[in-house]
Chains A and B, each alone.
Chain A
Amino acid sequence: MTDHALPNDTFFITKQLPRIVLRDAQRLQQKRHIIEVKEKMRVARGSRRGSAPEIPWISEKIATLPLDRWVVESPEDGTWFFKVVLNGGLRANIQVDRDDDAFVSIHRDGASVGLATGGLKQVTTALMRLCYNR
């Protein structure tokens, strides 16, 4: 891990705790992230009617990223656009649709760092690798 990228598990343990409590803290952190992403996605849908079956799996994948600041828009039904700043300052624009067709462009300090296409799982994995410099 590089010194400018924080791990995604950003909970703080103030005392020594056993492994099982650490695992629980990771589960809680994961759930908190997912709930936050889902809520913002629902807001982004606005008054649009009908179900959005893609929200559960998209929110799970986005929640795995070490998000610092981010916004989400849904320009049309089933299409999602995330503009994110990751811990460490890496910026990314992620577009994904209901059919899991995803595209990400990545920037740092105004310069392009890379592009990735594929499924959302693939592009978030690519993003994580860049973020953690692996």
Chain B
Amino acid sequence: MNVPKVMDPQPLFDVMIRIEYASDRDRPSLMRDWTAVLADLMPQMDLTPSSDDQPVPVVRFFDEVLSVAVHDSMIAVRTMAEYPGWDTVRSRMSDVLKKASRDVLGIATVTKISMNYLNYFRQSATMEDVVTASSLWPESFRRDRTSLRHAWQPRAATECGHEVIIGDGVTFDSNDERGVILDITAWTEQDVPISDSQSILNQLDRVHRYEKRLFAALVQPALLATTTKEWEDCDDD
């Protein structure tokens, strides 16, 4: 399946990867280990402010490209500003996972990997301008709605599940055309020892490919054709 490799304008604004893990170890020792791993790779750190969603401040390591926030049983990796491309993100994730598996975090099992891609299509008035009238939503359900959510549990063929949220009628200043938000989360639930960094990277690749295929299947072909400057083949697993 052909999917976009380079788009202009780039609709992708924010990428967040969550790696959830289970461990018998206590929180302070895990925090100490993550600090040792991440401080070497990302020398800047801060505390993210608390919010309604996040009542406890979270330690975050970051550099120009990525930030890694360490939660109780999860790390959340987020692009800092512009999306640097999957090759860069994957390379940095590889550095983190290899160091984590090699150095300290031996007694932990990755249980879930999820990737959230937040796209914004400006100058698209309605969701019908952006997404295909696919079988995800029956016509009767779409009528007169300004946002839709679709969730799908993992299927045997792909071992990936997804959640798609589409919202239209969003603009950021009074001169902007209205735009459409396309928020795609794909995930897989596999138990992988954190010491097996290559298998975790393979799972990341799998979820990434799934998300790309889903994106290409959802977005209107005409819009894809005009905004995609370079294509790549993205095989099914």
Does A13 contact B14, Cβ atoms closer than 8 Å? no
Question: In the complex, which of the residues A10, A15, A51, A55 contacts B168, with contact meaning CB atoms closer than 8 Å?
Answer: A15
Does B62 belong to the interface (CB within 8 Å)? yes
Of A14, A24, A51, which is within 8 A of B181 by CB?
A24
Q: Do A15 and B146 touch across chains, with their CB atoms under 8 A apart?
A: yes
Q: Which A51-85 residues sit within 8 Å CB-CB of chain B? A: 51, 53, 55-57, 59-60
Q: What total of A-B pairs shows CB separation below 8 Å? A: 85
Nearest-CB residue, chain B, relative to A55: B64
Task: Mark B residues whose CB is within 8 Å of A.
Answer: 13-14, 43-44, 46, 62-64, 80-82, 118, 120, 146-147, 149, 165, 167-174, 178, 181, 183
What is the interface size of chain A, counting residues whose CB is below 8 A from a CB of the partner? 29
A residues sitting closer than 8 Å to B (CB atoms) are: 10-18, 20-21, 24-25, 27-29, 31-32, 34-35, 38, 51, 53, 55-57, 59-60, 121
Given contacts A15-B168, A24-B118, contact A10 B173 (CB under 8 A): yes
Say yes or no: A35 contacts B81, CB within 8 Å. Answer: yes
- Beta-carbon nearest neighbor of A21 in chain B: B167
Q: DSSP class of A's interface residues: helix, strand, loop or mixed? A: helix
Tell me how far the C-beta of A67 lies from the nearest C-beta in chain B, rounded to whole angstroms.
Answer: 12
Residues of B within 8 A of A35 (CB): 81-82
Chain A residue at minimum C-beta to C-beta distance from B46 = A57
Q: Contact between B172 and A56 (Cβ–Cβ < 8 Å)?
A: no
